[in-house]
Amino acid sequence: MLLAVSVLLFVVLRLIPVDPLALSVSPNATVEEIEKIRHEMGFDRPIVAQYWLWLKGALRFDFGRSIYHRESVASLIARTLPASIELAALAILVATVLGLAGGLTLFHVRGTRKEPVLDVASIAILSLPEFLWGLFFILLFGVHWALLPFTGRLSPEYSMPAARTGFLLLDTLLAGRPDMFADAMLHMILPALALGVGFSPAIMRVLRSSLQDVYAEDYIRQARLRGIGEVQILLRHAAKNAILPALTLMGVQFGFLFGGTLLIELIYSYPGMGNMMVEAVRNADLPVIQAVGLVYCIAVLSINGLVDAAYSMLNPKLRPR
């Protein structure tokens, strides 16, 4: 799967009509000089030869050098990937909590006057793209109420701790700095919320629909007859079964969520891989685009894998005998 994605990415990037050297050479480079650089970088070779060279390097985690930064792509990714993983993880948590809580609430208020209001609200939230949420939260929480920071990862008075793991939240704890940890968490709230909130309505609606199906089952009626309260029935009996379709949806959505980090990181000046990818696209920095695209693919596959594992845990029918 990864090989197929890498081939697809490689071919597409080489076929789009953009000269990767256009922004990497100085303004007064002559045509001859540009062709010389093209030859040195291998861009004049057949695509298959270029891909083979790239693949050999990629298997050694050598993705070449960034045309724009002239730095190793692998080192650029190593510096930025942990930040994106932390953000995506928090956003997934936000989306999950909001989605599940919202779904349970939507189901709980079914048949009441609140239902259509919350229904419309969930559709409205779903229809706004995450970057608009990003800008809205900056205006509300960053400017109007001035409650939360909206640029970077730490407040200016803090220096980045020693990168023991590369994950800032872990590194602050390992450095024995709970104040820095709290500050880093504060900086992540708005971008994580912007990313997560857009994905939660779909989870809410699927969970609500799934609960409606589950509530038609006999065991729910029997639970009521046994005198179990509605809240207990909802949380301890129905939710466990109803969550499975929502979990499937989450697996698909969270793959997209990782891709959503691009614009959110840009808006929040968050030093993750998404921010770097946007810059790479602007500069036609093909080696970076290629490698980051592959990393995103791995991320999506990993998230799907984790969701499949969670699904197996929750659904006894899928557990190995």
Partner 1 sequence: MSFKDTRRTLLKGAGAGIATLALGTYGRAALAADKDTVTIAWPSDVPSWDPQQRLVPDAQSIYKAVFDQPLEQNAGMALTPHVAKKWNLSADGKTLELEFRDDVLWHDGSKFTAADFRFGWFERIQRKDAIDLGRVWNEVTDIQVASPTRAVVTMSQAKPTALQWLAFMGNFVVPRDYMEKVGLDGFRAKPIGSGPYRLAEYQLNSRIVLERNDQYWGPKPKVRRVIIEIVKDPSARVAAIQSGKADLALNLPVREVDRLSKTAGLSGEFNPIPRLILMHARNDMGFADENVRLAAHHAIDKQALSKAFYNGKAVPLSMVSTPGTPAFDPGFKFSYDPKLAQSLLAKAGFGPSKPLKIKLATTNGNFPGDFDIARAIAAMWKKVGIDAEVDVIEYAKYFELNRGRKLPEATIYSWDNATGDPEIFTGYLLNPKKPFTPWRGEEEGKRVLALESVVDYKKRVEGYRDFEKYAVEHGATIPLLQSVQTLVRKRDLQYQKYRSGIVYLQSLAWK
The least CB distance from residue 208 to partner 1, in Å, is 26
Q: Is 63 in the site for partner 1 (CB under 8 A)?
A: no
Under the binding rule (CB under 8 A), the answer on residue 33 touching partner 1 is: yes
Distance between alpha carbon 225 and the CA centroid of its chain, in Å? Answer: 44
C-alpha–C-alpha distance, residues 84 and 79, integer Å:
10
Residue 173 sits in the site that holds partner 1 (CB under 8 A): no
Residue 4 burial by Cβ neighbours in a 10 Å radius (0-12, 13-18, 19+): exposed
**Distances 120 to 95, 126, 253, 300, 320 between C-alpha atoms, Å:** 18, 10, 21, 30, 42
Q: Is 159 exposed, middle or buried (0-12, 13-18, 19+ CB in 10 A)?
A: exposed
User: With binding defined as CB under 8 A, does residue 113 bind partner 1?
Assistant: no
Asked if residue 17 binds partner 1 (CB under 8 A), the reply is yes
- From residue 65 to residue 104, the character string flagging contacts with partner 1 as x (rule: CB under 8 A) and all else as - is ---xxxxx--xx--xx------------------------
Separation CA 180–CA 47 (nearest Å): 48
Is residue 13 near partner 1 by the rule CB under 8 A? Answer: no
Residue 66's Cβ-count burial label (10 Å; 0-12, 13-18, 19+) is: buried
- In angstroms, give the least distance from the CB of 172 to partner 1: 12
Residue 11 touches partner 1, criterion: CB under 8 A: no
CB of 275 to partner 1, least distance (A): 5
Q: Which two tokens stand for residue 312?
A: 């197996």
Smallest gap from residue 226 Cβ to partner 1 (A): 21
266 near partner 1, rule: CB under 8 A: yes
Determine the Cα–Cα distance for residues 106 and 215; give it in Å rounded to an integer.
Answer: 14
The number of beta carbons lying within 10 Å of the beta carbon of residue 73 is 26
186 binds partner 1 (CB under 8 A): yes
Sole binder of partner 1 in the list 15, 46, 59, 157 (CB under 8 A): 157
Q: Which residues bind partner 1 (CB under 8 A)?
A: 17-20, 22-23, 25-31, 33-34, 68-72, 75-76, 79-80, 135, 138-139, 142-143, 146-153, 155-157, 159-160, 178-179, 182-183, 185-186, 266-271, 275-276, 278-279, 282-284
